A and B are shown apart, each in its own frame.
Chain A
Amino acid sequence: MCAATTYTLPLGPLHVALEEPMYFDIRLEGETVRSVELTAGHVHRGMEALAMQRNYFQNITLTERVCSLCSNSHPATYCMAVENICGVPVPERARYLRVVADEVKRIASHLFNVGIMAHLTGFDSLFMHAMEVRELMQDAKEGVYGNRMNLGQCVIGGCRCDIGPEEAAFLRGQLELLKPRLDELYGVYERDPLIRARTRGIGLLPLEEARRHAVVGPVARASGVAYDVRRKAPYAAYPELDFEVQSDTGCDVHSRALLRLREAVESVKIILQCLDQMPAGPINTGDMPAIPAGEAVARSEAPRGELIYYLRSDGSDTPQRLKWRVPTYMNWEALQVMLQNCQVADIALIVNSIDPCISCTER
Chain B
Amino acid sequence: MNEVARQAADRAVAQLLGPGAVAWTTDACGNAFGWARLCSPASLAALAPLLAGAGARLMTVTAYRKDKFARLEGREISYHFDLDGVVLTVAVCLPEGPPRVPSITPWFQNADWNEREFAELYGIELEGHPNMRRLFVDPALDGGVLDRLVPLSAMMNGASTTTLWEKVFAGRELPAWAKAEAKGEPN
Contact = CB atoms under 8 A, between A and B. Distances in A.
Interface string A184-216: 000000000000000000000000000011100
A235 B152 contact: no
B138 interface: yes
A234 interface: yes
Contacts of B155: 46, 49-50, 53
B179 to A, nearest CB: 26
A358 B78 CA distance: 24
Pick from A233, A235, A320, A325 the residue with the most CB of B within 10 Å: A233
A233 B87 contact: yes
Interface in B37-70: 57-60, 62, 64, 67-68
Nearest to B57: A214
B162 interface: no
A44 B108 contact: no
Nearest to B134: A41
Given A46-B145, A52-B68, A333-B110, A362 B60 contact: no
Interface string B2-41: 1000000000000000000000000111010101000000
A49 B146 contact: yes
A298 interface: yes
A41 B136 contact: yes
Nearest to A332: B113
A64 interface: no
Given A44-B137, A297-B80, A321-B68, A234 B28 contact: no
B29 A298 contact: no
B85 to A, nearest CB: 4
A297 B89 contact: yes
Interface stretch (A98-106, A120-128, A308-316): A308-316
A203 to B, nearest CB: 19
Interface residues of A, number: 41
A48 B80 contact: no
A232 B84 contact: yes
Interface residues of B, number: 39
Contacts of A232: 2, 84-85
Contacts of B35: 295
A214 B109 contact: yes
Contact of B110 (A90, A214, A298): A214
Pick from B35, B62, B86, B109 the residue with the most CB of A within 10 Å: B62
A299 interface: yes
Given A329-B113, A330-B110, A297 B33 contact: yes
A48 B150 CA distance: 13
Interface string A141-152: 000000000000
A306 B60 CA distance: 11
B93 interface: no
Pick from A46, A83, A296 the residue with the most CB of B within 10 Å: A46
B137 A41 contact: yes
A321 B62 contact: yes
A48 B145 CA distance: 11
28 contacts: A49-B146, A52-B68, A83-B28, A89-B28, A214-B57, A214-B58, A214-B110, A232-B84, A233-B85, A233-B87, A234-B29, A235-B29, A235-B31, A295-B89, A297-B33, A297-B80, A297-B87, A297-B89, A299-B59, A308-B59, A310-B89, A312-B64, A320-B64, A325-B60, A330-B110, A333-B109, A333-B110, A362-B136
